[in-house]
Structure 1
Amino acid sequence: MKLQRMNRRALTLGALAVSGALALTACGSDDTGSDSSGGTSSAAAAAGSIKCDDASGQLLADGSSAQKNAIDAWVKNFTQACNGVQVNYKGSGSGAGVTAFTQGQVAFAGSDSALKSEEIEASAKICSSGQGIDLPMVGGPIAVAFNVSGVDDLTLDAATIAKIFNGKITNWNDAAIKKLNPDAELPDLKIQPYHRSDESGTTDNFTKYLIATAKSDWPYEGGKAWQAKGGQSAAGSSGVAQGVKQTDGAIGYMELSYAKDGLGTVAIDTGAASPVKASSDGATKAIADAKVVGTGSDLALEINYGTTAEGAYPITLVTYEIVCDKGNKSDTLPATKAFLRYIASEEGQAILSGIDYAPIPDAIITKVRSTIEGLS
């Protein structure tokens, strides 16, 4: 009798599991409630508001690895709704993306830095009667992630961060770090700073922060290529995250969505009442303090890296989708506009905070939506 009761219980549990799985399938789940798919309750619900229009074919894009997780979530929802479109975003880095765009190899590019004048000039060769423009689409705090045995919480200021990445502070029990972390058990351990090996908008924004707030300790011009000597290097945000994760004593900079699985993130002493940790909300507060410095339909922003606003996280980047304002290829224009329209929409932007990105503030994203409609 006991064995029979056990068998009946197993059958009942099995039936419940099967019915639960069928219910999830009926709701269009396909793991769409997870972080990797955008943090929404259902991709089917998100896809319901996507307008495909006459979009079709293959859409090639490349660029910022910092926004890759956001793009992947968007692509999943978009292609579910618009099954006639295939979006292929490589995420090779901002430098590679801009190069691919100015050479006419992709329909749009992602870059964590706005186009430079020479890049705009180069884009005119492939944007017939137009030029490349910057559309701010993804906000992201650049986390300073660390892996130090026995240390769970860490506060640093701009000067200390600059000295660490410039090789002037080399040990975790250095007096400058102790002063900022009086209660931490800092080990006598060598610091292993990681930086990007490829040209990167994340590097550009990280070093812009150091230049703006700790110039005397960071005597470099900045840019997409890392300029300081020493340290370890890795390709892409994922490569830096992996290097830090595997190395006791390591520290590196990366977009927040990569700072997971055992990595701690530094709280930044900005001079505000409390140190600020990287967060989507903190990044959005910082972006709201930015100025539009682009002209015409270009919406390039100037970030205030020295902000001391309460809760604003200063090491924040904005990833731009770079596209021709005029002269887009006729075979990819419908798909390009449909995809950009979706990711700039309320539904598209709502995904971001659930996967450690920051939505673009309303005043800015409204201008982006209007610009997308005018692409030709």
Structure 2
Amino acid sequence: MRNWRAKTAAVAVVSALALVTACGSDDNGSSDNGNGGGNDNAGNSSEEGADGSGLSGTITGAGASFPDPLFQEWIAEYTQNVEPDVTINYQSVGSGAGVEQFLGQSVEFGSSEEYLSDEALAEAESGRCEAVQFPVVFGAVVIAFNDPALDGLVLDAETIAKIYDREITNYNDDAIADLNPDFDLPDQEILPVHRSDSSGTTFVFTNFLSHEVSDWESKYGAKKEIEWAEGTLGGDGNQGVAQGVQQSPGGIGYVNQSFALEAGLPVAHVVNEDGEAIAPTLEATSAASEEAEVPENFQFTINDIGGEGYPIAGTNWIFTYTCDYDENTADIIKGFWTWAMESDRADELAEELGYAPLGAELKERVLVEIEKTNSGS
């Protein structure tokens, strides 16, 4: 597996340069190519790619940090070994900012762990044309700890909710002890760490709590951004939460599994709908994803996970438009996401990082949806 964090930093520099280029004026003072994507490179690039496919140019996407480790791996594989004349910049700015940039037409595609609502779809159509949204991968949101001795600590939804509501403030609380009779729990104050930005990971986390805990639903709800209880610590992006947990004695935080793996953080086993304490493994995430009921419009959440499934599981969606891309840009968008759905190598990279690829039947549905990009309908 590549050092994706080092690569992320490098891509971020390229992204910044690409945006400067996209936003800069030409010799006549013009700064907008009329394509709504905020990036002139794709439309002005040469027609022929190095492999004869005709794909050549640059596209930019923005959104969730949840899939960023995987997206950087996919991008590197695709642009180095499949389409070497294509450049894809993905900015890990959080789901909320990604949706805003997509609706504001400053990027070619957006990304989030919460699907576009009917209201957001109407906003997209009023400003441009119909939006296309499709899922590309499943992943787990894990509960990570600062203390290695807590690896495998069992928590349920009620206990997690009370920790983040500051009703439970010490690891030796009776509620935690009851779930972990074999643990020697420390007399340690708990410091909950949360996302400070508008976040799809927060949506997945709070959706789980809202679905399982009525008090959480009434007080906080399921959102990308909420008003957290006093005595909690905010971090920017999944990486910021992981760092906050690492640097804070007593720290506990919710992050995408790949960030916990990369940081070597100990994680909780979370009780699912059948009362089973489940470790956040790839197999457990796959089991959860198989229980998802995916409607025709792809607007869904993953709830009521039992069996061997890990209960805090989420989906990443990609957003594109049905019009206004130049043909080359549209071909790059469709080419990359089609490769991500069809390539065995793309699935291998996802699994290495702890993400669960879509099932074969769902992939076929997604491939049809991808083709709606720039279709005019």
Q: Distance in 1 between matches of 2:69 and 2:163?
A: 28
Q: Distance in 1 between matches of 2:286 and 2:361?
A: 12
Matched, 1:368 2:361: no
Question: 1:184 deviation in Å?
Answer: 0.8
- Corresponding residue for residue 338 of structure 2: 341
Q: Distance in 2 between matches of 1:147 and 1:210?
A: 22
Matched, 1:237 2:235: no
CA 1:285 to 1:121, structure 2 compared with 1: closer, same or farther past 3 Å? same
Give unmatched runs, 5+ long, in structure 2.
6-49
Is the partner of 1:301 in helix, strand or coil?
Answer: coil
Question: 1:369 deviation in Å?
Answer: 1.3
Written as runs of structure 1 = structure 2, the 5 A alignment for 1:188-267 is 188-218=187-217, 219-230=219-230, 231-260=232-261, 261-267=263-269
Q: Pick which of 105-114 and 319-328 moved more.
A: 319-328
CA 1:123 to 1:151, structure 2 compared with 1: closer, same or farther past 3 Å? same
Question: Residues 59 and 88 of structure 1 are in contact (CA less than 8 Å); yes or no, is this contact kept in structure 2?
Answer: yes
Matched, 1:107 2:105: no
CA 1:52 to 1:282, structure 2 compared with 1: closer, same or farther past 3 Å? farther
Is the partner of 1:224 in helix, strand or coil?
Answer: coil
> Percent identity over the alignment?
30
Question: 1:330 deviation in Å?
Answer: 3.3
Matched, 1:355 2:356: no
Letter in 2 for 1:168: E
Q: TM-score, normalised by structure 2?
A: 0.81
Q: Distance in 1 between matches of 2:127 and 2:326?
A: 9
Is the partner of 2:134 in helix, strand or coil?
Answer: strand
Question: Residues 133 and 369 of structure 2 are in contact (CA less than 8 Å); yes or no, is this contact kept in structure 1?
Answer: no
Is the partner of 1:233 in helix, strand or coil?
Answer: strand
Is the partner of 2:145 in helix, strand or coil?
Answer: strand
Q: Distance in 1 between matches of 2:324 and 2:52?
A: 21
Is the partner of 1:227 in helix, strand or coil?
Answer: coil
Question: Residues 272 and 309 of structure 2 are in contact (CA less than 8 Å); yes or no, is this contact kept in structure 1?
Answer: no
Letter in 2 for 1:157: D
Letter in 2 for 1:135: F
Give unmatched runs, 5+ long, in structure 1.
1-32, 38-49
Q: Distance in 2 between matches of 1:74 and 1:272?
A: 35
Q: Distance in 1 between matches of 2:52 and 2:116?
A: 29
Question: 1:92 deviation in Å?
Answer: 0.3
Matched, 1:313 2:310: yes
Letter in 2 for 1:104: Q
Q: TM-score, normalised by structure 1?
A: 0.82
- Corresponding residue for residue 123 of structure 1: 124
Q: Distance in 1 between matches of 2:229 and 2:329?
A: 43
Letter in 2 for 1:107: E
Question: 1:150 deviation in Å?
Answer: 3.3
- Corresponding residue for residue 60 of structure 2: 60
CA RMSD of aligned residues (A): 2.0
Q: Distance in 2 between matches of 1:346 and 1:331?
A: 22
Which of these two proteins has the greater Rg computed from alpha carbons?
A: 1
CA 1:51 to 1:207, structure 2 compared with 1: closer, same or farther past 3 Å? farther
Question: Residues 100 and 106 of structure 1 are in contact (CA less than 8 Å); yes or no, is this contact kept in structure 2?
Answer: yes
Work out which of the residue numbers 266, 279, 282 in structure 2 matches 1:280.
282
Question: 1:132 deviation in Å?
Answer: 1.3
Q: Distance in 2 between matches of 1:271 and 1:253?
A: 19
Question: 1:85 deviation in Å?
Answer: 1.1
The total of aligned residue pairs comes to: 325
Q: Distance in 2 between matches of 1:51 and 1:294?
A: 36
Q: Distance in 2 between matches of 1:258 and 1:372?
A: 28
Letter in 2 for 1:53: S
